[in-house]
Amino acid sequence: MNDDHQRHIVFLDRDTMPDAVTVRAPDFPHTMDTYDRTAPDDVAARCKDADIVITNKVPLRADALAQIKNLKMVAVAATGTDNVDLKVCAERGVVVSNIRAYAMATVPEHTMGLMLSLSRSLRPYHNSVTAGRWKEAGQFCYFDYPVFNLEGKVLGIIGDGVLGKAVAKRAEAFGMEVRFSAYKGAKGMGPLYTPFEKILAESDVITLHCPLMDGTRNLLSDAEFDQMTKKPLIINTARGGLVDEVALVKALKQGKISGAGFDVVTTEPIPDDHPFLSIMDRPDFILTPHVAWAGIEAIQGLADQLIDNIDAYVAGAPRNVVTP
């Protein structure tokens, strides 16, 4: 691949990075078309002459891929690749590379922020002060919402990759007892893993840091919420679809869990009929718009790694290659 051929690159969704982030030019002869965002129906037309396609969240499905005749590489500007038909790419010899280990601070910090906000009832207390409740209370404080420490609590982490381990490190600094879970139904995971059912029954907080795949879709649903005898907080900064969202709303309303902090939903942006919209005013629920990854330092690192991946491929040494 190390030649002087001028390659054509198409970046489908530059708006998934803030303007403050610099996306440097690749280190080889090229042309580049950059779009702020791209609708799925426009993918084939915009990419028809592309050698390399950059996408963060825009889907690259079989029908569109079939029309991109010169495609040699898909550079995913994210870790997750569920928006790319990896099987079709593999069959055509198209290299797919993703971003790795770039969010080792920003996602864990957001995760801990959600835990702290829920455990200290920060959001409802702030809102109540804004509404005049402190003045009405007539004393130096009031106790309208629960407050509890993270110290001494059991944290169940589902997913033991770099992000899960980074969350564990921070949680241990808070004095939490950290347990890593095997996936539902997993066998022979060894003594360092706590069985999934024990995580459900014994955790004060459960946080998800695993990929979305057939074995993890709706990992937490009605049956799992029924097993949560300690009424834990549920944190999801990983992927929408890991939690059955209808079941989550039901569990929260029925008091089977103490609260939930989510940064992701199954369909993004959140649709008008999403079940979470019915609980947005609850003091025990927080939803942020998929920004756990969005620390400016992390996104700049992502952008640099994105171009590094493209340069490496063209130099004949592809890296961060994803296989189906």
Q: What is the pLDDT of residues 254-308, one digit of tens each?
A: 999 999 999 999 999 999 999 999 999 999 999 999 999 999 999 999 999 999 9
What one-character-per-residue DSSP string does 16-66 give? GS-TTS--PPPSSSEEEEE-S---GGGHHHHHTT-SEEEESSS-B-HHHHT
pLDDT of residue 35: 98
Q: Which two tokens stand for residue 52?
A: 């390399």
Q: Which pLDDT score, from 0 to 100, does residue 186 have?
A: 76
Residue 251, classed as helix, strand or coil, is helix
The CA–CA distances, whole Å, from 198 to 206, 228, 265 equal: 11, 9, 26
69: buried, middle or exposed (CB in 10 Å: 19+, 13-18, 0-12)?
exposed
Residue, of 185 and 89, whose pLDDT is higher: 89
**Taking 80 as the threshold, does the pLDDT of residue 137 lie above it?**
yes
Query: Annotated active-site positions, please?
Result: 239, 268, 290
Position 4 scores a pLDDT of 62
Residue 187: pLDDT over 60: yes
Judge whether residue 5 has pLDDT over 90.
no
Q: Classify residue 108 as exposed, middle or buried by CB count within 10 Å of its CB (0-12, 13-18, 19+).
A: buried
pLDDT higher than 70, residue 197: yes
Better-scored residue on pLDDT, 36 or 211:
36
pLDDT tens for residues 15-52? 999 999 999 999 999 999 999 999 999 999 999 999 99
pLDDT attached to residue 185: 79
Residues with Cβ within 8 Å of residue 28, at least 6 apart in sequence: 7, 311, 314
Angle 4-6-7 from CA coordinates, rounded to 5°: 125
**CA 295/CA 299 separation, integer angstroms:** 6
Where are the extended beta strands (E) located within 30-158? 30-34, 52-55, 73-76, 95-97, 154-158
Q: Are 43 and 65 in contact (CB under 8 A)?
A: no
Question: Domains in the chain and their CATH numbers?
Answer: 7-102+296-314 (3.40.50.720), 106-287 (3.40.50.720)
pLDDT at 182 over 90: no
The residue whose two tokens read 């995913």 is 76
Least confident of 8-12, 19-23, 65-69, 180-184: 180-184
Question: What is the side-by-side order of every strand in the sheet holding 52-55?
Answer: 30-34, 7-11, 52-55, 73-76, 95-97
64 with 42: CB under 8 angstroms? no
Residue 151 has pLDDT above 80, yes or no: yes
CA–CA gap between residue 78 and residue 94 (Å, rounded): 18
Tell me what the mean pLDDT of segment 176-193 comes to: 85
Confidence of residue 67 (pLDDT cuts 50, 70, 90): very high
Query: In DSSP terms, which residues pair with 236 in a beta bridge?
Result: 208, 262
Angstrom distance (rounded) from CA 314 to CA 1? 5
Q: Give me 88's structure tokens.
A: 């079709």
Alpha-carbon distance of 246 to 24, in angstroms, equals 42
Residue whose entry in the numeric block shows the structure tokens 């590379």: 97
pLDDT class of 74 with cuts at 50, 70, 90 = very high
Q: Which residues, listed in sequence order, are joined to residue 269 by a DSSP beta bridge?
A: none
- Contact criterion met (CB below 8 Å) for 178 and 122: no
Name the percent of the chain lying above pLDDT 90. Answer: 92
Measured CA distances, 181 to 15, 160, 163, 198, 204 (Å): 36, 8, 14, 9, 14
Taking the C-alpha atoms of residue 94 and residue 240, their distance in angstroms, rounded to an integer, is 27
For 16, residues 6+ apart whose C-beta sits below 8 A from its C-beta are: 56, 57, 77, 78
Q: Which two tokens stand for residue 305?
A: 């790694």
Compute CA 138 distance to the chain's CA centroid, rounded to the nearest angstrom: 43
Q: What percent of the chain has pLDDT over 70?
A: 99
